Amino acid sequence: MTHNTPLSPRPLRHLSDVHRRVVTTAQLRSHGVSTAELTERCRPDGPWRQLLPNVVLLHPGPPTSEERLHGALLYAARESTPGVPVQPTAQSPHRPVYREAMLTGLAALTLYGFSSTPSLLSLDHVDVLVPRLRRIRSTGYVRVVRTPDLPTPRAVTGLPVAPVPRALADAVADLKDPQEVRRLLTEAVRGGHCEPAAVVRELTSAKLLTRPHVVDAVDSLLAEGRAIAEDRLYRMVRTYGLPDPVWNVDLRLPGGPHLAGLDAYWPDQAVAVELDTRAPRQDEDALWSEYARKREHLERLGITVVYITPRKLREAMEQQAAVVRTALMASGDRDPAAYVVVLPR
């Protein structure tokens, strides 16, 4: 039998091409390959090679980037219950399920299309995220990353990949160069991969905000995220034909105290828009209470306040424009608002 001969007794026709090239020793045994035959085929000049513990590459020579990723997942995935094979899913009939394992870190970001990450083949290691209590350790080119709460993976090129914020946190944990960290975080926001708040939550959870170079990058990230959200707000007003507001203003009572800083305000209709860009590093409850107090105060004065998150602007701009338009149209049915002084911020 040559290394190209289908394995008996059950050929692997249900698998994709790469899954015929990278298999586990358990799969080989189930197809009639004995331990002695496996050892013989994986000798230095043999047709197969041991890629990782219990993972075999069914051809000589180095693995491709795709084979390395599949091999890492095969190594880290939890084995199925004996006698109950894990079947391909209806959505991916030619791809086996990797239980309790997903790609994270730089490899995951490269799969998401980040331009500031290395190529897959040039990576020294591939990070794989697993539950904290799994009894598995890093080996070869695979680095095991543990978490108490495994997130729901996204399918990228058919592979289970950690959500971008989590992958970013796992990548940043290993980076010492401030410029590299800043480039990754900036690309995540500019490229529309995720919102700054989600990134900061993951960095906080990973206890990475004790590192000065990460804190500096996060400050730049939040400023970048706010600038992008403001640009989208301008675009929303233009694209959906809303009346021009006054931008970035402070409201004060005549001769009285400061009331609020607003991103957009329509004085004739007494409608205000504020971007909700709360930083998760701050006390969420205290900050939300501050937002609520400000909104309540303004609405007692007859001013309608619409809060819009950067994510809603990115994903549902037309819907947010409709909310603002409704508030503007409803102004004619309300009692006149109190007189306030509008100043540039």
Measure the CA–CA gap between 82 and 273, rounded to whole angstroms.
Answer: 58
pLDDT band at 257 (very low <50, low <70, confident <90, very high): confident
24/34 Cα distance (integer angstroms):
13
Instruction: Tell me if 126 sits within 8 A of 107, measured CB to CB.
Output: yes
C-alpha span between 69 and 121 (Å, rounded):
10
CA end-to-end span of the chain: 78
Residue 213 in any domain: the answer is no
Q: What confidence tens digit (pLDDT) does each residue in 132-190 have? A: 989 899 999 999 999 999 999 999 988 999 999 999 999 999 999 999 999 999 999 88
Closest CA to 344 of 260, 243, 274, 247: 247
Residues 32-63 pLDDT 10s: 899 999 999 999 889 999 999 999 999 998 99
**315 falls within a domain:** yes
Report if residue 284 sits inside a domain: yes
Task: Give a yes or no: residue 272 inside a domain.
Answer: yes
Does a structural domain hold residue 301?
yes
Structural domain contains residue 193 = no
- With contact defined as beta carbons under 8 Å apart, do 251 and 341 qualify? yes
- Is residue 330 within 8 A of residue 324, CB to CB? The reply is no
pLDDT tens, residue by residue, 236-255: 999 999 999 999 999 999 98
φ, ψ for residue 301 (rounded to 5)? -85, 0
Q: What pTM, to 2 d.p., does this model score? A: 0.76
Within-domain flag for 255: yes
Q: Token match 């904290």: residue?
A: 132
pLDDT given for residue 72 in this prediction:
96
Tokens of 329: 């149209």
- Alpha-carbon distance of 206 to 280, in angstroms, equals 13
Is it true that the peptide bond before 336 is cis, omega within 30 degrees of 0?
A: no
Structure confidence at residue 286 as a pLDDT band (50, 70, 90): low
Question: Which of 30-34, 113-117, 289-293 is least confident?
Answer: 289-293
Over residues 178-191, the pLDDT tens digits come to 999 999 999 998 88
Mean pLDDT of the chain: 85
Distance CA 172, CA 178 (A): 10
Which tokens hold the place of 304? 């309608």
Count of beta carbons in the 10 Å neighbourhood of residue 253: 13
pLDDT digits (tens, 9 = 90+) for 207-221: 999 999 999 999 888
- Domain for residue 80, yes or no? no
- List all residues 6 or more positions away from 287 whose beta carbon is below 8 Å from its beta carbon: 278
Comparing 16-30, 77-91, 269-283, the range with the smallest average pLDDT is 77-91
Beta bridge partners of 341: 252
Domain count, the chain: 1
Using the predicted structure, report yes or no on whether residue 284 has a pLDDT greater than 60: no
The boundaries of the domain holding residue 332 are: 241-344
**Residue 301: CATH number of its domain:** 3.40.960
Distance between CA atoms of 86 and 11, rounded to whole angstroms? 16
d(CA 101, CA 78): 7
Contact status, residue 263 vs residue 297, Cβ threshold 8 Å: no
